[in-house]
Structures are given as C-alpha cells and as structure tokens.
Structure 1
Amino acid sequence: MKTPLGGNNLTVQTYESYPSADDAWTVSFNNPASTTGSYVVYAVCLPVTPTG
C-alpha cells in the first residue's frame, strides 16, 4: 500500500485482501502509528478465461 501523505509516520499493516463476492473485494488494514491519515483502496478486476 502507498501512504497518501508521503514520508510521514504512517505504517500500514494489511490483515486481509481477498475477493468477498463475485463483484466485491475486501481489504482490512491497521495503522499503529500515532499519525492519522486516510486511504483509498482500488481493486482492478479482470475476466478469467479457463485454459485447457
């Protein structure tokens, strides 16, 4: 993950990142630092074509 405020004390620990439905993605994370900030999470979904 990229910190939006660049170079400050934000430290993100990602706990989970997974597809939670056919059209949804779930991300959980924690910032244990005393500095506050906000994050935007993007998921890019691509069609999967079975092979073989």
Structure 2
Amino acid sequence: MSGKIKQIENLTKLYSDNLNYKLEKISDSLYKMENDLRYKGGNGNGKDN
C-alpha cells in the first residue's frame, strides 16, 4: 500500500509543479501585456487618451 501512496505523492507533485509552471507563464504574459499597454499610453482600445 505504501508504494501506491508514494506513487500518488509523486503524481501530485508532478501536477503541482506543472500548474505552478503554467501559472508563472500566465503571470509573465499578463505582466508583459500590462507593460505594453502602459508604455503605449493607450487604454487597450487602440486609441490614446
């Protein structure tokens, strides 16, 4: 039974690491988009305010 538990722990860590990686990528993308908008001086609709 302990082998099954270890397997579940390993899978859980794998899924957790994968999700953390994806969240990090999403966060980086949002940060980049925010900076792009800020430096272009627009509000996201293609027109400057």
Point out the structure with the larger helix share: 2
Point out the structure with the larger strand share: 1
Scaled to the shorter chain, the TM-score interval is: under 0.3
By relative contact order (CA 8 Å, sep 6+), the higher-ranking structure is 1
TM-score (norm: length of structure 2) = 0.21
